[in-house]
Amino acid sequence: MGLEISLGGLAVGLLIGFTGMGGGFLMTPMLILLFGVHPSVAVGTDLVYASITKFVGAWQHWRQGTVDLRVVKVLAAGSVPGAVAGAVGVQIFHGWFGPGFEGIMSRVLGVAFLVVSAVLLLRAAIPGPGGGSGEMSRPAAWKLITLGVVGGGIVGLTSVGSGSLFIALLTFLYPVSASRLVGTDIAHAFLVSAVAGLVHFAAGTVDLPLVGWLLLGSLPGIVLGSRLSKRVPDRIVRLGLTVMLAVSGLKLL
């Protein structure tokens, strides 16, 4: 089983390398649908896994100077508390509903996947104002904080959206170059994933050996995917990811 999980991690890592997204909304359904991991454990495990992979990406973007720390800080002011609330909510609901909560969690995940897929389709259909230099006006603080609270809550509850959902929405709010947008998003996603992951770890809903097997395959996959990204049309890969997300959401419902 360990080798199969690493191969699954390799596949997800390749897609992350190709597109810069896809980890959260692919890893969680893969763990649930292919490997039979309980939804709450899949969420916690994915968050810890995501925080490690995103740290590597955030560090690289920080070295390149493509992270807007001011936007990260304001966004995190809403998303970190939101992520904690979402992660704590998982534990509270599990106590209320008992074993039946796993079924409820599957449906919540399904809805979240469908919402994110719809946002990604909207993003593809209506191009954002990107292409700026990075010095254009930032979004109002209240907009970033509101986005952070809502998005952080979704991440803490489902592990979905720490990268894909936030970058899809930031595309409309923050008119800067793609590299600066991605770097800012990854740095913020690391903070949200790490905080929510710590809450899940404290609650015992993280499978550390599983995290290790996933990283064994996904880290080489991310490196390889990044190198091959120039050879595969980005639009095709992103469309495939969106379709897979929608299908996974329907299955979980």
Looking at residues 40-54, what average pLDDT do you find?
Answer: 89
The stretch 203-211 carries a mean pLDDT of 94
Q: Are 153 and 82 in contact (CB under 8 A)?
A: yes
Q: What percent of the chain has pLDDT over 70?
A: 81
Burial class of residue 99 (count of CB atoms within 10 Å of its CB; 0-12, 13-18, 19+): exposed
pLDDT at 128 exceeding the cut of 60: no
**Global confidence as pTM:** 0.75
How much is the mean pLDDT over the chain? 81
Residue 110 has pLDDT above 50, yes or no: yes
**Averaged pLDDT, 72-101:** 87
CB atoms near residue 208 (< 10 Å): 10
Q: Is there a contact between 147 and 75 (Cβ–Cβ < 8 Å)?
A: yes
What is the structure's pLDDT at 121?
80
The structural domain count of the chain equals 1
Question: How far apart are alpha carbons 74 and 24 in whole angstroms?
Answer: 23
- pLDDT exceeds 90 at position 6: yes
Each residue of 107-128: b (16+ CB within 10 Å) or e?
A: ebbbbbbbbbbebbbebeeeeb
* pLDDT over 80 (residue 252): no
The pLDDT-based confidence of 134 (bands split at 50, 70, 90) is very low
- Domain containing 177 equals 1-130+138-252
Between CA 20 and CA 253 the distance in angstroms is: 27
